[in-house]
């Protein structure tokens, strides 16, 4: 069973710049809004995203280091110029690795070809036909297949359901199961209320396990203490120094170190590779190992939180005011971001 990542929702909210009482709902609703729309995917395909998974994640030093790795001169160039050149070189590098000819092609055309080949490989691995399907269609098909897989694991019926319906059902089943684990009654409660209660109980539970007093503390303060303690503990396990570093910086290093360790375990070279590139390599070699790492509080993979690209969702919070009764179905762990590939994950390194 996957480890609950509700703690990471708290971390994401805190480290992204504040804690909101509806953050769990916002994170969960993200997939029902712009993130999964075909138009959004097309925009990302055409170069509005980023390549390399946050090579400028903390400061200009990271950007200069990445440029050096790719033999790009940095003299007299500002960050925007360097990012464009780095993106271009990385797209060409990946294209060559995928056997795509680069000669005579514009960078955006090449980027689209890279995306299409990656999606085709992913689709084939899932048993999805790629015939006559463009990138956006493949993305949607992959997304739906992954939702069905997760629904099945949760005991949620998939018959006749589209992606949005499945997301809602998975979300409901996951939340109810977590509520039951925390001995929280679901009777007569709408989704937002239940989410808030689950989040509050989870924070308090983690605080108790870590020996942190909850007396007289607001939820935001307690959540901050919990995540600070967890980040420092993880850093200590991985021999990461914390001197002079902020909690988000430490958390980022923890994430990177865990990805590097898994890559080495699988015999994947980490030399001159970004975290994003390592994630892609791990995904291709052993998707199950990568999935296991997903349950880690310090491994968002684009799920919002520590890493660059952590962000809030915008969706509705009440699910139309739907209430749960005692006969509500049970499911898997609460997962603020469903275990599915979003555009940033399926090779949208561009």
Q: What is the pLDDT of residue 209?
A: 92
For residue range 306-322, list pLDDT tens digits in order: 333 333 333 333 444 44
* pLDDT at residue 6 is higher than 90: no
Q: What is the pLDDT of residue 40?
A: 52
* pLDDT at residue 274 is higher than 60: yes
**Mean pLDDT value across residues 143-166:** 93
* pLDDT at residue 208 is higher than 90: yes
Q: What is the pLDDT of residue 78?
A: 93
The confidence band for 65, taking pLDDT boundaries of 50, 70 and 90, is: confident
Q: What is the pLDDT of residue 296?
A: 64
For residue range 23-55, list pLDDT tens digits in order: 344 444 444 443 444 555 554 544 434 444 444
**Average pLDDT for the chain:** 75
Q: What is the pLDDT of residue 272?
A: 77
Sign of CA dihedral 252, 253, 256, 257: negative
* pLDDT at residue 68 is higher than 50: yes
| pLDDT above 70: percentage of residues in the chain | 67
Q: What is the pLDDT of residue 297?
A: 57
Q: CB under 8 Å to 304, separation ≥6 — which residues? A: 12, 16, 27, 30, 310, 311, 312, 313, 336, 337
* pLDDT at residue 279 is higher than 70: yes
**Mean pLDDT value across residues 58-66:** 78
Q: Residues 114, 98: contact at Cβ < 8 Å? A: yes
Of 183, 219, 184, 180, give the one whose Cα is nearest residue 203.
219
Q: Of 7-16, 173-182, 231-240, 284-293, where does mean pLDDT reach its minimum?
A: 7-16
Q: CB under 8 Å to 59, separation ≥6 — which residues? A: none
Other Cβ atoms closer than 10 A to 309? 18
* pLDDT at residue 195 is higher than 50: yes
């Amino acid at each position: 069973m996957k480890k609950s990542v509700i703690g990471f929702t708290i971390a994401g909210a805190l480290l992204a710049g504040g804690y909101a009482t509806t953050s769990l709902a916002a994170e969960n609703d993200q997939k029902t809004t712009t993130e999964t729309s075909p138009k959004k995917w097309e925009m990302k395909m055409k170069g509005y995203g980023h390549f390399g998974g946050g090579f400028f994640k903390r400061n200009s030093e990271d950007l200069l280091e990445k440029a050096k790795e790719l033999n790009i001169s940095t003299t007299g160039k500002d960050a925007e110029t360097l990012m464009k050149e780095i993106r271009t070189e990385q797209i060409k590098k990946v294209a060559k690795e995928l056997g795509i000819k680069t000669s005579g092609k514009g960078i955006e055309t090449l980027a689209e070809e890279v995306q299409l080949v990656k999606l085709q490989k992913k689709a084939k691995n899932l048993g999805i036909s790629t015939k006559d399907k463009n990138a956006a269609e493949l993305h949607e098909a992959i997304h739906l297949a992954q939702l069905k897989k997760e629904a099945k694991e949760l005991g949620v019926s998939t018959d006749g359901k589209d992606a949005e319906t499945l997301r809602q059902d998975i979300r409901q089943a996951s939340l109810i199961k977590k509520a039951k684990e925390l001995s929280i009654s679901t009777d007569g409660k709408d989704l937002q209320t239940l989410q808030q209660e689950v989040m509050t109980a989870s924070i308090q539970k983690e605080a108790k396990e870590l020996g942190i007093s909850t007396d007289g503390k607001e939820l935001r303060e307690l959540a901050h203490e919990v995540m600070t303690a967890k980040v420092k503990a993880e850093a200590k396990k991985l021999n990461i120094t914390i001197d002079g570093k902020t909690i988000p910086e430490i958390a980022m290093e923890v994430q990177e170190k865990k990805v590097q360790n898994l890559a080495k375990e699988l015999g994947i070279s980490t030399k001159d590779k970004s975290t994003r590139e390592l994630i892609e390599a791990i995904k291709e070699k052993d998707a199950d190992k990568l999935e296991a790492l997903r349950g880690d509080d310090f491994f968002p993979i684009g799920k919002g939180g520590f890493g660059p690209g952590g962000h809030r969702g915008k969706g509705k919070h009440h699910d139309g005011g739907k209430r749960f009764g005692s006969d509500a179905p049970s499911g898997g762990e609460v997962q603020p971001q469903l275990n599915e590939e979003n555009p940033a994950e399926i090779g949208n390194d561009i």
